[in-house]
Amino acid sequence: MSDPQEIWKDVPGFPGYQASDYGNFRSLDRTTAAGKTYKGKDLSTRVSNRGYVLVDLRDAQGKKVTRSAHTVILEAHDKPCPPGMEARHLDDDPLRNRFVPADTAEESRTRGGNLFWGTKGDQYRDKVRNNGGERPPVPGPAHDCINHAQCGGKTRNPGKRCLPCVEQVGRDAAAMLRDGRNLHRVAEHFGYKRTDFVFSMAQKHGGYTGTKDDALIQGRKRSQRVTAWARKRLRRGNAASPAKAAEPRRQEAKAGTAPFGRVSPYDNLGHMGHGKSQDVTQREPPQRPEPSRVVTRSSRPHVPYPSDTVRYRAPRKPGVTRHR
Ligand SMILES: [Zn+2]
């Protein structure tokens, strides 16, 4: 333990303690203010959970402080820790604490030292050097973009768009929103169930400046813009008899307009097995509410590349478990 060449220096801030350039610690004979004397001794060290050597010292007030050995040695033999720096083990061996004074870490290392102040970057470069060079890069994107035929892009996960395609979606979505289209429809157009991603891409890549609330409201038919109260009422009425609302109001029957035994011109139910609607082929087709507002794929306005080449995710097959 006691190499004749071993150099001992006082530990700053811990009077009566010394650290050696070989990583050893000792206390000196000392007398406290109260007149009590202590005999100096070699200090034992221990190893932390993270693998560093620790040593217990008492500061000037007599309070026990646990310090990491390599930091204490650098403070005693070199200088206080420069701002933004850390104590390095040049060889990444935390159990070896050998200080060799030198101008550069490289010089200290070639002369057998392994302690030096340095930045986080230095720490990283130590690790790279001690591990035999840079690690191989993390494998890059490996799946085809859903628009691969056009863009040739790759993605990290299957069924996604590559970055250029996502940026194009953002630009297209912003253009559609500026055209007054509803954000729900825009998200649906690009195959997203939710609106968050499309909207943030429209802001990021398309420079869209409108609010999300407006984007969610704009472009809806009038009945969708009315309050929830009115919407509920309308829904209830439509659900009860969807065809009736569109039918012309039936005239009130007047006395004498439908003599007994004859079918009323307003009676299209054909009850009693008689009447004009007995022949099914002659019945008028039932009236249905106008479906013009239903957005179908063919009724979507054309949006140039790549939105019109977007493939829609196939619906999940029943009974097939998706693996995540
Ligand atoms: Zn792509």
Q: Whose CA is closest to 241, among 210, 286, 179?
A: 286
CATH number at residue 84: 3.90.75.20
pLDDT number for residue 33: 75
- Of the three residues 235, 253, 274, the one that is the final residue of a domain is 235
Whether residue 13 is found in the same domain as residue 97: yes
Is residue 270 a part of any domain in this protein? Answer: no
Is residue 300 a part of any domain in this protein? Answer: no
pLDDT number for residue 5: 85
Mean pLDDT of the 77-86 span: 93
Between the CA of 159 and the centroid of ligand 1 the distance, in Å, is 11
The DSSP code sequence of 100-146 is ---SSHHHHHHTT--EEEE-HHHHHHHHHHHTTSPPPPPP---EE-T
Give the E-state strand segments of 145-261 in sequence order: 154-155
Whether residue 124 is found in the same domain as residue 161: no
pLDDT number for residue 38: 83
Is residue 167 a part of any domain in this protein? Answer: yes
Over residues 225-254, the pLDDT tens digits come to 665 456 556 666 555 445 444 445 555 555
Counted domains in the chain: 2
Between the CA of 196 and the centroid of ligand 1 the distance, in Å, is 20
| 189 pLDDT more than 90 | yes
Q: How far apart are CA 290 and CA 299, in angstroms?
A: 14
Whether residue 29 is found in the same domain as residue 95: yes
Between the CA of 303 and the centroid of ligand 1 the distance, in Å, is 16
More confident site: 312 or 57: 57
DSSP state of 309: G
Backbone CA torsion sign across 97, 102, 103, 106: negative
| 191 pLDDT more than 50 | yes
Work out the mean pLDDT of the chain and round it to a whole number: 80
Compute the C-alpha angle 316/321/323, nearest 5°: 105
* Domain that includes residue 52, residue range: 8-130
Is residue 169 a part of any domain in this protein? Answer: yes
* Three-state SS at 302: coil
pLDDT number for residue 321: 62
Whether residue 99 is found in the same domain as residue 177: no
Whether residue 117 is found in the same domain as residue 169: no
Is residue 182 a part of any domain in this protein? Answer: yes
Between the CA of 286 and the centroid of ligand 1 the distance, in Å, is 47
Is residue 61 a part of any domain in this protein? Answer: yes
Between the CA of 149 and the centroid of ligand 1 the distance, in Å, is 8
Is residue 313 a part of any domain in this protein? Answer: no
Whether residue 125 is found in the same domain as residue 166: no
Q: How far apart are CA 292 and CA 299, in angstroms?
A: 9
In this prediction, residue 276 has a pLDDT band, given cuts at 50, 70 and 90, of very low
Q: How far apart are CA 68 and CA 55, in angstroms?
A: 6
Mean pLDDT of the 217-223 span: 77
Mean pLDDT of the 198-205 span: 95
> Who's near 122: CB < 8 A, 6+ residues apart?
88, 105, 116
Percent of the chain residues past pLDDT 90, beyond the cut:
49
pLDDT number for residue 80: 94
pTM > 0.85: yes or no: no
Between the CA of 167 and the centroid of ligand 1 the distance, in Å, is 9
Q: How far apart are CA 236 and CA 234, in angstroms?
A: 5
Between the CA of 175 and the centroid of ligand 1 the distance, in Å, is 19
Whether residue 151 is found in the same domain as residue 67: no
First to last CA, the chain: 57
- Of the three residues 174, 201, 235, the one that is the final residue of a domain is 235
Task: Give the lowest-confidence range in 34-43, 118-127, 214-223.
Answer: 214-223
Whether residue 39 is found in the same domain as residue 150: no
| 124 pLDDT more than 80 | yes
Is residue 265 a part of any domain in this protein? Answer: no
Between the CA of 202 and the centroid of ligand 1 the distance, in Å, is 17
Place of tokens 């087709």: 285
Whether residue 151 is found in the same domain as residue 61: no
Whether residue 92 is found in the same domain as residue 67: yes
Between the CA of 140 and the centroid of ligand 1 the distance, in Å, is 15
pLDDT number for residue 182: 93
Whether residue 12 is found in the same domain as residue 95: yes
pLDDT number for residue 142: 83
* CA 260 to chain CA mean position, Å: 76
Whether residue 114 is found in the same domain as residue 153: no
